[in-house]
């Protein structure tokens, strides 16, 4: 069995948690074909217990601790070195030595998940090993979006990060055999930003475990009787999620409550930021913090909300809600990259009053909720199979440098 080095910025476990979903499913798919050496960081002490479980898919694992406060201070070195602050944030001498040993021992292929991890490879490494880089999103453009919503000096700092990180992304992509993004929209954006690598830039969708996220499970109801719950799921220390729930709770939900007092807004996710915790003081708003299983909160909710104003790529929270046959009210940004499905009419707006009206209409119409839920699950089951999408990734790993395998070319034409 050929060997493969897999580098990712966060431990890819547990398999149904936020930004770990894609990285875990990629690891699982690769492990069926290669002998995998995994290098990752752990920024949550609770995640150390998952290393033993990951041994099922990995020949060797090196996990390095990453303390966010220390890493943020370390990232400031980028102001003096002239590089993107993201790079020193994820720089670790022990990780670098281990990667060098793996490469010197002759691993056959390399998968890099998240652009920041590409700093551990040199140009010569790319020439000697077949490297596929999964950017997932165009992170540099995310920083550009952040800058638009902030005043000086943060707007200056975020614009700088957008420029410097894009330069690094382009350099990394220039050496890689292929670069992958989570949607055709993200891939098209990168082709415009980095036209020199357009022919080696591909889109591979996220997927959903539709057996795990199934509305047919026996889930305990976590809500009170007579309440109609709107639910938001996600990591609640992630700024885009924080911005989304704060905007919805402050500008949309009061309009919903004025017309439907029994409405509730439940925010489900680990590590809620202080401004998220404060939302629990608002009438009808609940903040759960980390939960063992998000599915009961989805299964017994009336609808999911995805009011993201800053978003890149396909949102797992939307796909999971659809798999649970839960209708979704969203901003246009939250639906970027999702396929259009026959019969599925999204409830989409970025105007608070209009979104509130859509939400109340949906909460008042159980037949429409059921119809949208059924159409959403059908869409996910048809278009978002992990196995199909990850087969395209393996095809890129096996293709000669610079060539697009037929399975990936077909995906581009139909994406």
The 10s digit of each residue's pLDDT in 144-164 is 998 987 899 999 999 999 999
The pLDDT value recorded for residue 83 is 97
* pLDDT of residue 409 exceeding 80: no
* pLDDT of residue 95 exceeding 80: yes
Rounded to whole angstroms, the Cα distance separating 67 from 168 reads: 24
**What are the backbone angles phi and psi of residue 68, rounded to the nearest 5°?**
-55, -40
CB 399 within 8 A of CB 200: no
* pLDDT of residue 412 exceeding 90: no
392-395: long-range pairs with CB below 8 Å, 24+: 392/202, 392/204, 393/26, 393/29, 393/30, 393/111, 393/132, 393/134, 393/180, 393/204, 394/29, 394/30, 394/33
* pLDDT of residue 414 exceeding 70: no
Average confidence (pLDDT) over 96-116: 96
129: left (phi over 0), alpha (psi -120 to 50) or beta: beta
The pLDDT value recorded for residue 410 is 47
**79-92: b or e for each residue (b if 16 or more CB lie within 10 Å)?**
eeeebbbbbbbbbb
* pLDDT of residue 415 exceeding 60: no
* pLDDT of residue 110 exceeding 70: yes
pLDDT digits (tens, 9 = 90+) for 21-70: 899 999 999 999 999 999 999 999 999 999 999 999 999 999 999 999 99
* Count of residues in the chain: 415
pLDDT digits (tens, 9 = 90+) for 284-325: 999 999 998 999 999 999 999 999 998 766 788 999 999 999
* pLDDT of residue 260 exceeding 90: yes
Q: What percent of the chain has pLDDT over 70?
A: 96
Helix 154-175 / helix 139-148 crossing angle, nearest 10 deg: 170
The pLDDT value recorded for residue 219 is 96
Cβ-Cβ contacts under 8 Å for 250 (sequence gap 6 or more): 282
The pLDDT value recorded for residue 408 is 52
The pLDDT value recorded for residue 406 is 60
In this predicted model, which residue has the larger pLDDT, 99 or 205? 99
Q: State the average pLDDT for the chain.
A: 92
Average confidence (pLDDT) over 369-384: 92
């Amino acid at each position: 069995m050929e060997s493969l080095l897999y580098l990712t910025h966060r431990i890819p476990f547990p398999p149904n948690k936020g930004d770990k979903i894609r990285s875990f499913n990629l690891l699982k798919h690769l492990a069926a074909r290669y002998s995998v050496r995994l290098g990752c960081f752990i920024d949550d002490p609770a995640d150390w217990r998952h290393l033993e479980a990951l041994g099922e898919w990995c020949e060797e694992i090196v996990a390095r601790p990453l303390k966010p406060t220390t890493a943020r201070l370390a990232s400031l070195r980028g102001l003096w070195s002239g590089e993107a602050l993201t790079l020193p944030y994820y720089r670790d001498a022990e990780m670098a030595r281990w990667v060098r040993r793996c490469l010197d021992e002759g691993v056959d292929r390399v998968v890099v998940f998240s652009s920041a991890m590409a700093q551990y490879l040199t140009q010569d490494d790319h020439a000697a090993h077949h490297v596929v880089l999964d950017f997932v999103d165009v992170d540099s453009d995310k920083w550009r979006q952040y800058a638009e919503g902030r005043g000086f000096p943060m707007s200056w700092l975020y614009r700088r990060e957008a420029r410097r990180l894009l330069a690094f992304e382009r350099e990394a992509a220039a050496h890689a055999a292929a670069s992958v993004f989570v949607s055709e929209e993200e891939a098209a954006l990168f082709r415009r930003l980095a036209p020199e690598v357009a022919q080696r830039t591909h889109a591979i969708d996220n997927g959903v475990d539709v057996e795990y996220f199934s509305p047919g499970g026996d889930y305990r109801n976590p809500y009170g009787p007579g309440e109609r719950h709107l639910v938001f799921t996600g990591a609640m220390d992630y700024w885009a999620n924080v911005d989304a729930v704060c905007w919805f709770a402050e500008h949309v939900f009061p309009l919903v409550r004025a017309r439907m007092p029994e409405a509730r807004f439940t925010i489900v996710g680990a590590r809620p930021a202080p401004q998220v915790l404060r939302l629990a003081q608002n009438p009808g708003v609940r903040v759960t913090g980390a939960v063992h299983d998000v599915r009961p909160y989805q299964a017994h909710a009336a609808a999911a909300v995805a009011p993201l104003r800053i978003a890149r790529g396909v949102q797992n929270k939307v796909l999971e809600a659809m798999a649970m046959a839960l209708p979704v009210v969203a901003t246009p940004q939250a639906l970027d990259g999702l396929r259009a499905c026959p019969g599925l009419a999204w409830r989409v707006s970025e105007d608070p009053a209009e979104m509130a009206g859509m939400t109340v209409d949906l909460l008042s119409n159980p037949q429409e909720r059921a119809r949208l839920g059924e159409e959403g699950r059908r869409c996910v089951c048809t278009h978002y199979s992990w196995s199909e999408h990850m087969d395209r990734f393996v095809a890129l790993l096996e293709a000669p440098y610079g060539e697009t395998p037929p399975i990936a070319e077909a995906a581009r034409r139909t994406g």
